[in-house]
Amino acid sequence: MSLGVSETGLGGVQILPIGRTNALRNAFLAAAGVSAALQTGLAFALARALIGPATFLVAHVILCGALLGTAIVALQRSEDGSNFLHLALWSTIGGPYGAVIAGGLLALDWHRAHQPADFGDWLDLAAQDGRPPTRGRLCNAYLDGRLRILGASGTRPLGEILAAQGREEKFEALSIVGRRFDPSLTHVVRAALQDADPSVRVLASTVMAKLQTQFTRNLLAVEAAALRKPGEASVWLDLARAHLGYARTGLLEPSQAAAELIQAAAAGERGLRAAPHCPLAAAAHAALAGEIAQSQDEIARIQDAAGLPRRTVSP
């Protein structure tokens, strides 16, 4: 529905449907015309001595009372009915001239309400120099959705955040690691464990324990599934992959990771024995054994560099 703008008698702006605004305006003009005609007729009759002053006064009061009643009804239906109240007051004061004065004032209000807003001179200046000024460019960019915050889409490595001095940023980095862990983020937790801030070290230890607990629970769930179906090769191969994945997270010490690889190899052998003549199981076991051997070599290098005893995977 289209909208029109009309001003109330107190100077506020009210948004009304165009059809409703036109109806109120037509009703006001009709009331003003009738009031002016009746007031003029009474004045003419009084001047010609057709009626006495008392009769004129009574008729004037009745007419103004009717206008006031109309104004009250209009105010109850719409705030724009204040125009009828002006008509009643001006008719009471000015007689036949009151309706003319009220109509003229209302016409001025309507004319002012429909004047276009002043948008300044920036458009004229833009037309003179051929390009919009800064305000114009910003306005166009805002309306077109082209405003961007510089660097808002950039990313910072979590390692750089931990190297900074902001405690809140370090807490946020560790919380991200805890919610969306990936083995590539293990160095973030281990760097936080060496942070100079004790609160950061405590939070890093908490995150490390939480991640280890999650992996342990997952291992227990997969192991329980394997024990429920000991004759299926797939469940034992899943258990072997779970142990291998835990060993590769970097959350464990080298000796603990080596122990997980030993359990992964044992689960893989159990799966191969469950289906010795299945080519798919044999291929999966071979691929798994290669990954276990590669991880064993990596852990062995770490143990040699730290001077720790090795734990080898049984063939």
Q: How many Å apart are CA 314 and CA 300, to the nearest integer?
A: 14
pLDDT given for residue 313 in this prediction: 47
Q: How many Å apart are CA 128 and CA 118, to the nearest integer?
A: 19
Q: How many Å apart are CA 130 and CA 122, to the nearest integer?
A: 12
Instruction: Read off the amino acid at residue 67.
Output: L
SS3 136: helix
Helix axes 18-47, 53-77, angle to 10 degrees: 170
pLDDT given for residue 122 in this prediction: 58
Locus of tokens 């939070």: 203
Which residues of the chain register pLDDT less than 50? 1-19, 313-315
pLDDT given for residue 125 in this prediction: 59
Q: What angle do CA 182, 215, 177 make, to 5 degrees?
A: 30
What's the Cα-to-Cα distance from 129 to each of 118, 133, 134, 314, rounded to whole Å? 21, 9, 13, 83
